[in-house]
Amino acid sequence: MTGVWRVSALGGTPRSVGAIADGAFELRRWTSAGKIYYQSQGDLFALDTATASSQKFTSFDPQNGKVTWVSISADEKSLAYVVTKDGGWQLFVSDAANAKPVKTAEEQGEIGGIAWLPKKAVSSTALLSMAFFRSFLLTARPRRHALRLLNWT
């Protein structure tokens, strides 16, 4: 059976947390409230570990491009997602309540590997992503997004 399984780090018997129909899903976040977010076919789904039921969390319009990566912040209030369209890669951020997305980065090279950084690491919610051989840190504040390129040498 395809799905999410849980087992103690010390060993033991694995137990099913929930079945997932699409075997090509990717885990994105496990919250302290017991929700597991996963990406499947370009959308984000939420699996409730108490009920073992999944519900679709996003519905991206394919006319706007192909969503290759989507992630939700630890507080479950913000979304970040990468879209490929016309040979370019774009990073969007929006609040999870479906507010108008803001394009925060655009590259001809691949953008992916988005990770939300903990609030303790930066002054506000932030994203870290790889854009080909450049990394960037995106600080997300309401109505304002600041992009800083990081040079790793």
**Per-position pLDDT tens, the chain of length 153:** 588 888 889 989 998 888 888 777 888 888 888 899 999 999 999 999 999 999 999 999 889 999 998 988 888 888 888 899 988 888 888 888 877 888 887 878 777 777 777 664 443 445 555 444 455 555 555 444 444 444 343
| pLDDT, tens digit (0-9, with 9 covering 90-100), for 77-107 | 888 888 999 888 888 888 888 778 888 878 7
> Domain locations in the chain?
1-59, 61-153
Do the beta carbons of residue 38 and residue 25 sit within 8 Å?
yes
Q: Quote the CA–CA distance of 97 and 74 in Å, as a whole number.
A: 15
**Long-range contact set of residues 25-32: C-beta below 8 Å, sequence gap at least 24:** 28/70, 28/71, 28/72, 29/71, 29/72, 29/74, 29/116, 31/74, 31/76
Q: Quote the CA–CA distance of 108 and 125 in Å, as a whole number.
A: 26
Q: Quote the CA–CA distance of 71 and 19 in Å, as a whole number.
A: 20
pTM of the model: 0.75
| pLDDT, tens digit (0-9, with 9 covering 90-100), for 14-23 | 988 888 887 7
Q: Quote the CA–CA distance of 113 and 128 in Å, as a whole number.
A: 8
Do the beta carbons of residue 28 and residue 42 sit within 8 Å?
no
